[in-house]
Amino acid sequence: MRKPLEEMYGAETFAKTWAAWIDGVSEIEKRSDGNICKEVLPQVKCPTLIIHGEKDPMMPGFHADYLHKHIKGSRLHVMAEGKHNLHLRFAEEFNSLVEEFLITITSAKIEVNGVHLHYQQTGKGDHPLLLLPGALGSSQTDFGPQLKSLNKERFTVVSWDPRGYGRSIPPQREYPLDFYHTDAQDAVDLMNALHFRRFSLLGWSGGGIAALITASKYPSLVCKLVVWGANAYISQEDIVSLDKSVRDVSKWSEKMRKTMVEMYGAEYFTKTWAAWIDVINAFGKEPDGNMCRDILPQVKCPILIVHGEKDAVLLRDHADYLHEQIKGSRLHLMAEGKHNLHLQFAEEFNSLVEEFLMSQD
């Protein structure tokens, strides 16, 4: 370890310069509460990959955790056997990780309908896809395995943060009863702004509702549609299920809650989630709990409806209803799937979606 540095600098210069570096680090700790660059972290807006070796004797793991917490939307990758020089010790793994991060996904904002919408884009295929996230969802939190692994030769994949979600803040999220229609309009106008004339939609949960509305209103623009965890109405049984499973964020798993708090901060997350629960209850007071029942007969494109049989948030009745009401639709059940089946079983889900999108329906 010492030999390459002495060969580079000479023993005397190396020893003197290293001692000066140690003194400088010690002085920073004394002068400014150990601050090296804490204040700049909130200004880091570009996609950031933080890598940490769990066996690094020089840099404890809490430093990587701190960076991840304070750089919004950052990605943290931990290498179990990595030490401080992990890029040399595990060069192939490190290079592959960095190449995947740098090459495959671009991240940007574009003004649409008066809002600067954040989106991510990957792939160079001639079949554009737009991924629509669920409640409080974002490209970063909801579609990592799809951005990473959907076929980039066949598809150009775009994933976005709807207004008030993820990195499309401001504005703050609002929930009038027509907010899914607003998301649908923004989705179409985003793809137009990106110069995609026709495209397919993949919508999860609330994103599935917005996707259904989009397909019904713009049949000439939408090639195919995939929805999962989506519903056209809300019943009292559904409201009871939501109250039991997700209303109280303090009862969420630590992993689920941590992701949202890191993205939004505890106050915005709690307030916005409560507002979403309130509007879902408001839908329950509409005739027949209507959310988008009326538009289903206008969905004319080929559609794949996916449902996880262990979904604790949405009953199977909703998938069956969509299948019955949308002529020619295809229903696929995943026996072990939960509400986030595309994350749980990403490889199976991606394969299913690619087969559907590439078929000659």
Please write the tens of the pLDDT for every residue from 48-78. Answer: 999 999 999 999 999 999 999 999 878 899 9
Task: Band the pLDDT of 206: cuts 50, 70, 90.
Answer: very high
Per-residue confidence band for 23, with pLDDT thresholds at 50, 70 and 90: confident
195 catalytic? Reply is: no
pLDDT average, residue stretch 304-330 = 95
pLDDT at 126: 95
Residue 29: pLDDT above 80? no
- Which pLDDT band, with edges at 50, 70 and 90, does 28 fall under? confident
Is 339 an active-site residue?
A: yes
- Mean residue pLDDT across the chain: 92
pLDDT at 346 over 90: yes
What mean pLDDT do residues 93-118 have?
88
Query: Is 203's pLDDT higher than 90?
Result: yes
Q: What is the pLDDT of residue 348?
A: 97
Does residue 240 register a pLDDT over 90? Answer: no
pTM of the complete model = 0.74
Q: By percentage, how much of the chain surpasses pLDDT 90?
A: 74
What is residue 254's predicted lDDT score, i.e. its pLDDT? 85
* The pLDDT of residue 32: 65
- 3 state SS for the chain: CHHHHHHHHCHHHHHHHHHHHHHHHHHHHHHCCCCCCHHHHHHCCCCCEEEEECCCCCCCHHHHHHHHHHCCCCEEEEECCCCCCHHHHCHHHHHHHHHHHHHHCEEEEEEECCEEEEEEEECCCCEEEEEECCCCCCHHHHCHHHHHHCCCCCEEEEEEECCCCCCCCCCCCCCCCCHHHHHHHHHHHHHHHCCCCCEEEEEECHHHHHHHHHHHHCCCCEEEEEEECCCCECCHHHHHHHHHHCCCHHHCCHHHHHHHHHHHCHHHHHHHHHHHHHHHHHHHCCHHHECCHHHHHHCCCCEEEEEECCCCCCCHHHHHHHHHHCCCCEEEEECCCCCCHHHHCHHHHHHHHHHHHHCCC
Query: Regarding predicted confidence, which is higher, 107 or 338?
Result: 338
pLDDT at site 3: 87
Catalytic residue, candidates 307, 311, 318, 329: 311
The domain 107-358: what is its CATH number? 3.40.50.1820
Per-residue confidence band for 244, with pLDDT thresholds at 50, 70 and 90 = confident
Tell me what the mean pLDDT of segment 91-112 comes to.
Answer: 86
Annotated catalytic residue: which of 52, 118, 307, 339? 339
Least confident of 135-139, 160-164, 252-256, 351-355: 252-256
pLDDT at position 107, please?
Answer: 87
Q: Is 127 a catalytic residue?
A: no
Give residue 253's pLDDT band: very low, low, confident or very high (50, 70, 90).
confident
Candidate list 74, 205, 216, 329, residue with the active-site label: 205
In which residue ranges of the chain is CATH 3.40.50.1820 found?
107-358
- The pLDDT value given to residue 102: 75
Q: Is the pLDDT of residue 277 over 90?
A: yes
